[in-house]
A and B are shown apart, each in its own frame.
Chain A
Amino acid sequence: MEKIIKRILLALSVTVVVSACTDSKQYETSFCALMDISGTYAGEKANVANIIKAGIVPEMIPGDSLFFVKIDSNSYAEENLVTKLTLDYRPTKANTQKLAIAKTLDKFGKGNAKSRLTDISGALMLCSDYLKATKSGTQVMFVFSDMKEELPEGVVRKFAEDEFDGIDIAAMNVIKLTDDSANPEVYRKRIKNWNQRIVDSGAKSWNTLIDATKIQEFIYNVK
């Protein structure tokens, strides 16, 4: 009997030790920044690149990932992924990687990429795929757009029920269009619709951040 108890205790101890050794993925954060390059928002590229550089990149710690996706007429495509990065566990190497991505963002900000229509949903779905693939514990999306979607003919975008499962999504730097200025209700209704769609698709949270300086506070809260 004593032997059996000892064996059970040993097995339990081994199980506890093995289960205690876990992969660090659940402690890591994956960010996905979506940048609208259509219409009037195309002029915001440099500004958005600066916000990402100063707000998101410094908050990344070794092991974290960042995907930068552009929103154009048909966003659910691999070529929409501008750059991606997973920070090395060594701080010095991670610093070098951060500097490299900062240069890529600068280059994108200065570029003249532009699209006619706005496929926000496709970009969101693409981002969701990339974020889920990382299996990170915290997954965050930042949408830099006016949030007005204009899909090309024949393009269908329907979110699955668990499309954004466990993802915190924030609409950043949402600029008001001419129609919005004329009637704020249009803007509010548009944002509300997005909120409804995103939350119904399983998103952990939906936020609209007007002040870009609050980005660090937001990351701290979702982490």
Chain B
Amino acid sequence: MKSFYFLPEMPGVSIAVWIAASMIFLFFAREPVHKMIQTFSDATAGGLRKLAEWTKETAQAMREKDRKVLLESGVAKIQGEILQEFSKIDMANTKSLAGYPKLQLKLDEKISQLETDYNECGQVTPEAPGWSEVVKSIAKVKGSTSDRIIEGMLGEIHKSAVEGEKKALSELRDISAKRHKILGSMAPVWKRVEKLGKEISSQVDKVMENSRNIEKYMTQYEKISAAEPESIDMLSSKVTKLFIISLIVICVGLVGAFINFNLIALPMSELVPAGVRVAGMAVSEISALVIVALELVLGIFLFEAIGVTHTFPQIANMTRGKRKIILWGCLLGLLFLSSVEASLAILRENLAEAKNALDISLAGGSASVSNEINSRITVIGQAMLGFVLPWILAVIAIPLEMFIEASQHAFAKMYTVFITLLCHLANMIAYLIEGFFNILVHLFDIYIIIPVQIANMISGKQVSAS
């Protein structure tokens, strides 16, 4: 340090000279220095601003892409639901229409029967006209004539007229009774017709309900097709909810898979004894892992064959017969694997008991089974667990499909949030760097303020520091 002093005995003067010289030098070099600081600022803060712009654009593009995917999937889902309602209507109609000709025939039959009955009721035998007047006239004539022959003749006529009237009345009563009987037999036919009418009404109600559902879905479809922000938010919320729920279920399932793996890993070493390891895992452990994975795969195919999930279009497009074959194959496979696991679980317990006995023996104690009942309960419990766990694991196929469907949106959302955060961070750092370099410029200007002021005085005009 001292070597820089002009006058070693007067360090203060030396420092002052150095400062003055640097001031003069920097005064003349002020423009390049300003440019240099500005270049530094542009290089760092500018780069960060570019990064922020890029992240902002990327986030925007991702949002747009996600929006499109959401809309597409939303439309596809609604279309599926509408298709399902149509298929319900189709099924209902097929079922109803299959019985409809029979129903129509029945109805026609009953109606024609009713018509016939009605017509029969309408066929009334007319009353003999003027019978009563004739009888009355003859009765009056009877006492007024003196001719006995005529009187006798009239008496006979009167008698036969009265008898005829009686006969006509009797016939009329018979016909009325017959008509009442026919009307009485019409009652059950009316009831039957009424019942058939109700059946038709119920079928029509079902079709109406399906139509209302279709209307509801169509309204949703229109909203989604219009790409309204509310419908996007609704779809996003639905998908996020689905993602969280399926994630929770899958996590629980993975814990189950872990338990399952641990249950069979030890006994598998008895069945697959090998010294080779793959990625740090013994072959026996990998075998156990493969069994667990196979159960999961069988579960996926099982639910695919049933039609609960639709991960593989090839399976979905198969004929009913082929799907049945897959279904039975998966069921038998799961049954086989669960039986294997149950037996492995029993073997595991036996191995654990043998190890305990050995440890006791090595420690100098006498190996004996301490509690046979407890041991049997443990064996049964482990065997049951080994049998049931594969079936439970197979059910993971359903949330797995949900998870795969929802994960695209969820990951896009997370990525967008991350990118946006990065954008804000880059902007913030760029702002700080710009501020720092601005302060540096001001400090530089302060440092050379004396030469600047002197130059102002000499030239008589304002000399800018920058």
Bound complex: CA A25 to CA B359 (Å): 25
Q: Which A residues lie within 8 Å of B270 (CB)?
A: 90-92
0 or 1 for each of B360-402: is its CB under 8 Å from A? (1 = yes): 0111100000000000000000000000000000000000000
Given the contacts A27-B280, A102-B361, A89 and B355 also touching, CB distance less than 8 Å: no
CB atoms of B276 and A23 under 8 A apart: yes
Tell me if A99 is interfacial: C-beta within 8 Å of chain B.
yes
Tell me if A166 is interfacial: C-beta within 8 Å of chain B.
no
CB within 8 Å of B: which A168-218 residues: none
CB atoms of A88 and B362 under 8 A apart: no
CB atoms of A88 and B273 under 8 A apart: yes
Q: Which residue of B lies closest to A95 (CB)?
A: B358
Smallest CB–CB gap between B367 and chain A, Å? 10
Tell me if B269 is interfacial: C-beta within 8 Å of chain A.
yes
Tell which of A22, A54, A88, A89 has the most Cβ of chain B within 10 Å.
Answer: A89
CB atoms of B275 and A63 under 8 A apart: yes
Partner of B364 from A22, A50, A57, A92 at Cβ < 8 Å? A50
Q: Which B residues lie within 8 Å of A22 (CB)?
A: 276-278, 280
Q: Which B residues lie within 8 Å of A102 (CB)?
A: 361-362
Given the contacts A54-B364, A90-B270, A92-B270, A99 and B358 also touching, CB distance less than 8 Å: yes
Smallest CB–CB gap between A173 and chain B, Å? 16
Q: Which B residues lie within 8 Å of A25 (CB)?
A: 275
Tell me if A15 is interfacial: C-beta within 8 Å of chain B.
no
CB within 8 Å of B: which A25-58 residues: 25, 27, 50, 53-54, 57-58
CB atoms of B269 and A89 under 8 A apart: yes
Partner of B358 from A88, A93, A98 at Cβ < 8 Å? A98
CB atoms of A58 and B359 under 8 A apart: yes
Tell me if A21 is interfacial: C-beta within 8 Å of chain B.
yes
Q: Which residue of A lies closest to B367 (CB)?
A: A99
Q: Which B residues lie within 8 Å of A21 (CB)?
A: 276-278
Q: Which A residues lie within 8 Å of B279 (CB)?
A: 20
CB within 8 Å of A: which B335-365 residues: 351, 354-355, 358-359, 361-364
Tell me if B82 is interfacial: C-beta within 8 Å of chain A.
no
CB atoms of B362 and A90 under 8 A apart: no
Q: Which residue of B lies closest to A57 (CB)?
A: B362
Bound complex: CA A54 to CA B278 (Å): 32
Q: Which B residues lie within 8 Å of A58 (CB)?
A: 358-359, 362-363
Given the contacts A53-B362, A99-B358, A89 and B274 also touching, CB distance less than 8 Å: yes
Bound complex: CA A89 to CA B355 (Å): 14
Smallest CB–CB gap between A84 and chain B, Å? 17
0 or 1 for each of B266-287: is its CB under 8 Å from A? (1 = yes): 1001100111111110101000
Given the contacts A20-B278, A95-B354, A95-B355, A62 and B363 also touching, CB distance less than 8 Å: no
Q: Which residue of B lies closest to A26 (CB)?
A: B277
Bound complex: CA A63 to CA B274 (Å): 9
Tell me if A221 is interfacial: C-beta within 8 Å of chain B.
no
CB atoms of A23 and B277 under 8 A apart: yes
Q: Which residue of B lies closest to A28 (CB)?
A: B275
Smallest CB–CB gap between A104 and chain B, Å? 13
CB within 8 Å of A: which B282-297 residues: 282, 284
Given the contacts A57-B362, A98-B358, A92 and B351 also touching, CB distance less than 8 Å: yes
Tell which of B270, B277, B362, B363 has the most Cβ of chain A within 10 Å.
Answer: B362
Q: Which A residues lie within 8 Å of B275 (CB)?
A: 23-25, 63, 89
Given the contacts A53-B363, A54-B362, A99-B361, A92 and B354 also touching, CB distance less than 8 Å: yes
0 or 1 for each of A78-90: is its CB under 8 Å from B? (1 = yes): 0000000000111
CB atoms of A62 and B269 under 8 A apart: yes
CB atoms of A24 and B282 under 8 A apart: yes
Bound complex: CA A25 to CA B354 (Å): 26
Given the contacts A91-B266, A92-B354, A95-B354, A62 and B362 also touching, CB distance less than 8 Å: no
Q: Which residue of B lies closest to A102 (CB)?
A: B362
Partner of B277 from A27, A62, A91, A99 at Cβ < 8 Å? A27
CB within 8 Å of B: which A77-128 residues: 88-93, 95, 98-99, 102
Q: Which B residues lie within 8 Å of A53 (CB)?
A: 362-364
0 or 1 for each of B249-276: is its CB under 8 Å from A? (1 = yes): 0000000000000000010011001111
Bound complex: CA A99 to CA B270 (Å): 18
Q: Which residue of A lies closest to B284 (CB)?
A: A89
CB atoms of A90 and B277 under 8 A apart: no
Q: Which A residues lie within 8 Å of B354 (CB)?
A: 91-92, 95
Partner of A91 from B269, B362, B363 at Cβ < 8 Å? B269
Bound complex: CA A98 to CA B367 (Å): 14
Q: Which A residues lie within 8 Å of B361 (CB)?
A: 99, 102
Q: Which residue of A lies closest to B357 (CB)?
A: A95
CB atoms of B282 and A90 under 8 A apart: no
Smallest CB–CB gap between A88 and chain B, Å? 7
CB atoms of A91 and B355 under 8 A apart: yes
CB atoms of B277 and A98 under 8 A apart: no
Bound complex: CA A134 to CA B140 (Å): 152
Q: Which B residues lie within 8 Å of A93 (CB)?
A: 273
Smallest CB–CB gap between A81 and chain B, Å? 21
Smallest CB–CB gap between B347 and chain A, Å? 10
Smallest CB–CB gap between A223 and chain B, Å? 14
Smallest CB–CB gap between A14 and chain B, Å? 14
Bound complex: CA A22 to CA B269 (Å): 17
Bound complex: CA A23 to CA B275 (Å): 7
Q: Which A residues lie within 8 Å of B363 (CB)?
A: 53-54, 58
Q: Which A residues lie within 8 Å of B362 (CB)?
A: 53-54, 57-58, 98, 102
Bound complex: CA A153 to CA B270 (Å): 52
Bound complex: CA A177 to CA B354 (Å): 41
Bound complex: CA A62 to CA B270 (Å): 10
CB atoms of A24 and B277 under 8 A apart: yes
CB atoms of B351 and A91 under 8 A apart: yes
Q: Which A residues lie within 8 Å of B364 (CB)?
A: 50, 53-54
Q: Which A residues lie within 8 Å of B359 (CB)?
A: 58
List the 6 closest A-B pairs by CB distance, nearest first.
A89-B273, A24-B277, A90-B273, A54-B363, A20-B279, A24-B275
Which A residues have a C-beta under 8 Å from some C-beta of B?
Answer: 20-25, 27, 50, 53-54, 57-58, 62-63, 88-93, 95, 98-99, 102
Interface pairs (6), CB distance under 8 Å = A53-B364, A54-B363, A58-B359, A89-B269, A91-B270, A91-B354
